[in-house]
Amino acid sequence: MTEPRSSHLADSELPIPAQYFELYGRFWDVASLLIFSLAAIAVLIANANELTWREWMVAGLSIAQGLLYFFCITRGGWPISRRNLALYFVGGVCMWGLSCWLDPFTWWLGFTYFGQMFGLLPLRAVMPGTAIVTILIALITSDWNLRQIPLGAVIGFTFQWLGGMTIFLFISGIIRTSGERAKLIAKLEAAQKELELAHQRDTELATLQERERLARDLHDSLGHALVALSVQLEAIQRLYKVDPERASAQVDELKTLTRASMDDLRRSLAGLRAPGLGERRLSEALQTLSVDTGQRAHLEITCYVAEGANQLSPTQAETLWRVAQEALANIERHSSARTAELQLEIESNSAKLSIKDDGLGLPHDAEKQPGHYGLRGMRERVEGLGGTLTLTGNGNGSCVDVKLPIL
């Protein structure tokens, strides 16, 4: 009679509601208590014509075994402590052996302990425990004389024990596999939730970074242009009274500045509408970006992307794409460069992106200067993935180096 509340069942964490185990356990609690009670009644009924102290002692020991089960197993709570398990099985088997020595009539109660061990004990205790019970049953049925045990009975008890162990190990394997599968499913569900949260955070971060980039572009282009336009309008207003020709020339310059400002605004808006990497392959996106930027800015851009770039994770690929996009945009707007180089190398544990140009170089502490939101955005993206970003520059050009770890 197996019990459902074994330690190996609990450790497997089956995806079955706990109330089902509770009801199943209560069923076997009642069944076990009835078996011990019926054993006591059966002893008294079988010997009703000649009851002696032996029969009364055997009946009392059967009741005591039931009480021991009640206090150690039923009332012990779940999970059952090792102390209660040891007390029940050692005490119960000893009382059962004593009652069988007084009257072999109750030898069959050994099968109750045999089944309970399968249900309540861990695997390392089931094998020796059931072997001891099997040997005791063989001794009791042979009147405690090993020489009187027939060979057929030895073979029968041996096959009984081996058969019980085989079924037990088979069921334990199924339970363990089911438990591991349940744990794996739970981990996958948790990982899926984490990925969804990470995707949501990435989306929010990308939105904030696009806002910062737009603010930088408007500050660096349209903001400066509006200041210049305001100054020139004031100058024209003063010059028209004293020097109309010179004021007219200033108006022409004002038109040129206005057109240039409109071009900068269009580029900023185009950048705002520019999609992320999306479903595009990183290598193709970087090549296209280099070609488009080179044609638009009249730059000679060399692009090299190593094999394996398209195997990077979507988050890593998106980060490298955004960094390249920002770096080339800075070269186009501020560097006055003639040539540039974009190189992406893939190593065993890292991806390295390098973007160089031969322009004016970066100003000192460029990231700390007001308006350079794009540089700060690049660093936040890279360091958010555990990478590093290095900016170097002088009068002979600038260099943006990115290193992302690959797990």
Give pLDDT tens digits for 371-390. Answer: 556 777 788 888 888 899 99
Q: How far apart are CA 327 and CA 355, in angstroms?
A: 7
Beta bridge partners, 391, equal 400
One-letter amino acid at 255 equals K
Q: b/e map of 105-131 (b: 16 or more CB within 10 Å)?
A: bbbebbbbbbbbbbbbbeeebbeebbe
Q: How far apart are CA 173 and CA 176, in angstroms?
A: 5
Kindly report which listed range (188-197, 284-293, 337-346, 352-361) carries the lowest average pLDDT score.
Answer: 188-197
Q: What pLDDT, on the 0 to 100 scale, is given for residue 373?
A: 61
Q: How far apart are CA 131 and CA 150, in angstroms?
A: 18
Q: What pLDDT, on the 0 to 100 scale, is given for residue 275?
A: 55
Q: Is the peptide bond before 275 cis (omega within 30 degrees of 0)?
A: no
Kindly report which listed range (10-24, 300-314, 324-338, 346-360) carries the lowest average pLDDT score.
Answer: 10-24
> pLDDT-derived band of residue 187, with 50, 70 and 90 as boundaries?
confident
Asked if 105 and 38 touch (Cβ cutoff 8 Å), the reply is no
Asked if 382 and 323 touch (Cβ cutoff 8 Å), the reply is yes
What are the residue ranges spanned by the domains of the chain? 7-149, 280-407
Beta bridge partners, 394, equal 397
Higher pLDDT, 130 or 151: 130
Whether the pLDDT of residue 156 is over 50: the answer is yes
Q: What pLDDT, on the 0 to 100 scale, is given for residue 270?
A: 60
Higher pLDDT, 176 or 333: 333
Q: How far apart are CA 226 and CA 265, in angstroms?
A: 12
Whether the pLDDT of residue 12 is over 90: the answer is no
Q: What pLDDT, on the 0 to 100 scale, is given for residue 303?
A: 95
Whether the pLDDT of residue 250 is over 50: the answer is yes
Q: What pLDDT, on the 0 to 100 scale, is given for residue 153?
A: 65
Whether the pLDDT of residue 9 is over 50: the answer is no
Closest CA to 340 of 353, 322, 360, 358: 358
Q: What pLDDT, on the 0 to 100 scale, is given for residue 138?
A: 78
> pLDDT-derived band of residue 259, with 50, 70 and 90 as boundaries?
confident
Higher pLDDT, 63 or 252: 63
Over range 169-174, report the average pLDDT. Answer: 72
Whether the pLDDT of residue 104 is over 80: the answer is yes
Over range 48-63, report the average pLDDT. Answer: 86
Q: What pLDDT, on the 0 to 100 scale, is given for residue 403?
A: 94
**Percent of the chain topping pLDDT 90:** 12
Region at 313 (left for phi over 0; alpha for psi -120 to 50; beta for the rest): beta
CATH architecture of the domain with range 280-407: 2-Layer Sandwich (3.30)
Q: What pLDDT, on the 0 to 100 scale, is given for residue 88?
A: 84
Over range 262-280, report the average pLDDT. Answer: 65
Per-residue model confidence as pLDDT tens digits over 67-97: 888 888 888 666 778 888 888 888 888 898 8
Tell me what the pLDDT averaged over the chain comes to. Answer: 79
Q: What pLDDT, on the 0 to 100 scale, is given for residue 7?
A: 45
Q: How far apart are CA 6 and CA 4, in angstroms?
A: 6
Whether the pLDDT of residue 3 is over 50: the answer is no
Q: How far apart are CA 124 and CA 35, in angstroms?
A: 27
Whether the pLDDT of residue 135 is over 50: the answer is yes
Q: How far apart are CA 188 and CA 256, in angstroms?
A: 60
> pLDDT-derived band of residue 224, with 50, 70 and 90 as boundaries?
low
Per-residue model confidence as pLDDT tens digits over 105-134: 888 888 888 877 877 777 788 878 878 887
Whether the pLDDT of residue 24 is over 70: the answer is no
Cα 336 to chain center, whole Å? Answer: 48
Q: What pLDDT, on the 0 to 100 scale, is given for residue 298?
A: 84
